[in-house]
Structure formats: C-alpha cells, structure tokens
Chains A and B, each alone.
Chain A
C-alpha cells in the first residue's frame, strides 16, 4: 500500500527520505525545512525540491506549518535533536497524533527526553509512533528487540557514535593524539565543526536512553539526566598504547541495563565484536534464553537513516 508522507526537516535524513520514498512505493506529499514547505497531493518531485532549496534557500512557497494541513498518513519527524523539552520536535509529534496520524521519528529528542509523555499521547491517538531511525541509523535494533520481546532482552550495549569511534580507532591505529585525529575527522566530514555532542558522549547516551526506555517497557522512564555519561576527550594516546600492549583497545561503549544507562570509554579486547573500527556501529543484545546477538552496520548518514525511517513506514502498512 502506498502511504503519503509529510517530512519535517530538510537535512541529510529528511532529504534522503524524499529521495528514497518512491523506491519503497510511498509518496512524499509535504516537505518542510525550518522556514518553508512544499506541498503536492500528487507527490513531490525530489529533484525539483532539492533544486529550489539550493537555488533559493527554501523548499517551497508555503510556511512550514502548512505541512500539517496536507492530506498525509505518516509524519516523518527529522528535525535536529534537541534536549530538555525536545521542542519543536515534540510539538510536531503531538500535533500529528492529535490528528490521528502515524509518526516516524528520526529525531532522538522526544523519545529520549519525554518518553512517557510521548507514549501517553500515542495511547490517545489512532496513530502510532515508530523510531527505529533514532537508534543506530540503518541497524535494525528496535525491530530486533520488538521481535525478541523487550522482556526477553536483559541488556543492550555497544558503540552507537561513529564520530567518537572513528577518533578512538584511528588514534589507536596510527598512534596519533586526540586533537590531530579530531581535526582530520572534521576535514573528512566525519566530525562536525562543534563535535561536542559526539565526543562528549551525549549522542550515544541519548540512544542508550532510548534503548533503556524500550527495554524497561514502561516500568521506569529514563532521560538524559538519568544517564552516567563520560566522553572521549580524556582518553590520550598513551592510554591506547597501554591498552594495545595488552591486546586491548578503548571504545566509547554505551550500556542500557537494569542498573540504568552508562556511556564511557571502556577497555575491551582487540578483535572482539564491540571493537568495530571507523564509523561502524554495533549493538549487542543480551537475551534471557538465547545468549548474545550482535548487529552492526552504518549508524549514521542520510540514506542509511532514511532506510530505517522507510522500514518503519512500511511496518505501518
């Protein structure tokens, strides 16, 4: 069945959803950036929208809010993640649910910071909320947990920030210091000009907070403030040298367990499943009856994250 998508957020993820929706048999009928929107009940032409954005800095004539008046089935919320009240993302979700539409989130804010509020709104709506894209990009983490059943998964741990992992694995492989590798990562576009979110562990923590919320299945609500978070700025090359001498390495590891959420640089054996290199991500699920499951892949990027968004959309059919 073809669904009509309204996409909020014209960054890498939103733009890729616009490009790839047709490949999944869906139409994007509304598309908005922070200042404008384009609406076409027959489905937008991706290249025309991208051209307009490049040429005029807007995606269309209408105001962003016009998206909500379009005739759509699923709201794709792909605006930048914000902390605290998770606005404006949260209000976007609230509005779509009030209109009994489905919501697919790529934005981590509402699921990490206001999980209970979100679930309460969902309970009163005909629509449902999906957020596979918020955790681990293309890696099907949440759908795997859903298949296993959250009560059968006792813990999730792993590497869910490609920037921090790129920096640590390159420092270890090349014997370079943090500042040097960070500058290189910024040149390559792997790290942003302001890398705080990634190198201080906040991005990874948000994802593990989401996992904790999902695993706790409504019993305990977690938010970023509940997480113990330490980034990688205090991991010098000397620590990686010493780890390597003993067959170990250091990775920014997140954990969502019954004890809560923790993100910190940790010593792990070289060559172990969690010692992924570069921007690769991995999640390890600890199951009650079936041991460990490891799922790895690309945890970020426009088409990768859009793939998770469109998988969520397909689940709504």
Chain B
C-alpha cells in the first residue's frame, strides 16, 4: 500500500516524484581570489536553482588551502544534477553533492492506529511544521493479529534541524495517540 492509496491519491507532495522544489546542500572549495564566490553562484541561478543561504567559512581553510563554502539551495529534483554539472564545467571544485548529502535524512517509525489517526494529516503537518520533506513511506499491518500497525517515514531534513523535526513528530504522535520509534543519531556505527 502506498501513501497515495491512503491519501485518496491526491497530491504529489508526499510521493517524492513531483516537481516541488526540494532543498539541497552543496559544499564547494574556492580559491582565495576576488570574484570566486560570485562565479560559483552564477551556474546555480542560471540553471533554475534558488539560493537559500551561503555559509562562507572565510576564516577556515581546507587541507589544500582553499576556502570551504556551503550553499543551501532549492530546485526541482530534476534540475539538481544539471546545476552540479554546470558548477564543475565552470571550474568550481564541488566537494559533496550527492543525494545523501542534501541536508540530513531521518527515519522514524510510527506505531498505532496509523490510518484511523488520519495519516494524510499527520504527514502534511510534519512537512509543514518541521520543514521536512517526506521521501518515502511504508506501511505494515499483520492480518489476523491484534498487533498495532506501523508506518515508516523517511524524511529529508535541512541540516541541523533533526532535533526540531523529531520533536514535531513526537508532539504530533502524542496528540494522535501514536508511539514513535526514533532513530539513534549518534554512536550507532
């Protein structure tokens, strides 16, 4: 069963395949020369990316003596590859720009009367109040048992917002009488 079946097949926001802009983080290394930052940002806007923030660590240097810059941007999913390519074509050193590096990913499992507690509303409110994007949803129920059903949510979260997201999920779950199995962020390697 997919999210759409439960949602009544309504929207593209929850299935991750639509054209809604999504946040991404790109880490660049710039040579310490005038005009470098501007030159690095141009390929992003030229290719349909919307700059959200730029973190320019001018004081710190990479082992190679370059300046690390972290760029948060928003673009439709299908434009992102093109943006990274354009950056590289422009001679910008892109350190990290893979799907796994776009901010952080959080997985939680909700347990209880998932469907009766209005799953669509739960997902919508997580996305709107936690600034998170649902990437993937799976449901599990065992027929013929009275075991509670569960839903696994994979959320893309902006860097540094994991705690905030988990706290939104916790509050919502408490309100709806659901239990949350949270991920252990650190130390689980």
Binding site for B on A (CB under 8 A): 155, 157, 177-178, 234-239, 241-243, 245-246, 248, 250, 253, 264-269, 272-274, 284, 286, 292
Bound Cα distance from A75 to B71, whole angstroms: 63
Bound Cα distance from A286 to B185, whole angstroms: 13
Q: Is the CB of A234 within 8 A of B152?
A: no
Bound Cα distance from A193 to B52, whole angstroms: 58
Q: Is the CB of A269 within 8 A of B111?
A: no
Contacts of A157 in B (CB 8 A): 184, 186-187
The residue on B at minimum CB distance from A275 is B188
Q: Which of B30-38, B115-123, B126-134, B138-146 contacts A (4 or more CB under 8 A)?
A: B138-146
State whether A274 and B184 are in contact (beta carbons under 8 Å apart), knowing that A236-B148, A238-B148 are contacts in the complex: yes
Q: Is the CB of A286 within 8 A of B186?
A: yes
Binding site for A on B (CB under 8 A): 107-109, 111, 138, 140-142, 145, 147-152, 154, 179, 181-184, 186-189
Q: Is the CB of B111 within 8 A of A235?
A: yes
Bound Cα distance from A250 to B184, whole angstroms: 10
Q: Is the CB of B188 within 8 A of A274?
A: yes
CB proximity of B122 to chain A, nearest CB, Å: 16
Q: Is the CB of B109 within 8 A of A239?
A: yes
A-B residue pairs in contact (CB < 8 Å), sample of 11: A157-B186, A236-B147, A236-B150, A238-B149, A242-B150, A267-B108, A268-B188, A269-B188, A272-B188, A273-B189, A274-B188
Bound Cα distance from A269 to B148, whole angstroms: 23
Contacts of A248 in B (CB 8 A): 107, 183
Bound Cα distance from A273 to B184, whole angstroms: 12
17 further interface pairs, Cβ-Cβ under 8 Å (given A239-B140, A248-B107, A268-B183)? A155-B186, A157-B187, A235-B111, A235-B181, A236-B111, A238-B147, A238-B148, A239-B109, A242-B138, A242-B151, A250-B109, A250-B181, A266-B182, A266-B184, A267-B184, A268-B184, A274-B188
Q: Which of B109, B154, B179, B187 has the most CB of A within 10 A?
A: B187
State whether A274 and B150 are in contact (beta carbons under 8 Å apart), knowing that A235-B111, A238-B140, A242-B140 are contacts in the complex: no
Bound Cα distance from A266 to B181, whole angstroms: 5
Q: Which of B141, B145, B149, B182 makes the CB contact (< 8 A) with A267?
A: B182
Q: Which of B145, B152, B187 makes the CB contact (< 8 A) with A243?
A: B152
The residue on B at minimum CB distance from A243 is B109
The residue on B at minimum CB distance from A257 is B186
Q: Is the CB of B182 within 8 A of A238?
A: no
Contacts of A286 in B (CB 8 A): 186-187
Bound Cα distance from A276 to B98, whole angstroms: 31
State whether A237 and B142 are in contact (beta carbons under 8 Å apart), knowing that A155-B187, A177-B147, A266-B182 are contacts in the complex: yes
Q: Is the CB of A245 within 8 A of B184?
A: no
Contacts of A266 in B (CB 8 A): 181-184
Bound Cα distance from A104 to B187, whole angstroms: 31
Contacts of B111 in A (CB 8 A): 234-236, 238-239
The residue on A at minimum CB distance from B146 is A177
Q: Is the CB of B148 within 8 A of A234?
A: yes
The residue on B at minimum CB distance from A239 is B150
Bound Cα distance from A177 to B148, whole angstroms: 10
Bound Cα distance from A238 to B154, whole angstroms: 16
CB proximity of B43 to chain A, nearest CB, Å: 35
Contacts of B151 in A (CB 8 A): 242
Bound Cα distance from A22 to B147, whole angstroms: 51
Q: Is the CB of A267 within 8 A of B183?
A: yes
Q: Which of A157, A178, A239 has the most CB of B within 10 A?
A: A239
CB proximity of B166 to chain A, nearest CB, Å: 11
Q: Which of A237, A246, A284 makes the CB contact (< 8 A) with B152?
A: A246
Contacts of B141 in A (CB 8 A): 238
CB proximity of A314 to chain B, nearest CB, Å: 31
Bound Cα distance from A243 to B182, whole angstroms: 11
CB proximity of B64 to chain A, nearest CB, Å: 25
CB proximity of A283 to chain B, nearest CB, Å: 11
Contacts of B148 in A (CB 8 A): 234, 236, 238
CB proximity of B157 to chain A, nearest CB, Å: 15
Bound Cα distance from A196 to B142, whole angstroms: 26
Contacts of A239 in B (CB 8 A): 109, 111, 140, 150, 181
The residue on A at minimum CB distance from B114 is A238
CB proximity of A264 to chain B, nearest CB, Å: 7
Contacts of A273 in B (CB 8 A): 188-189
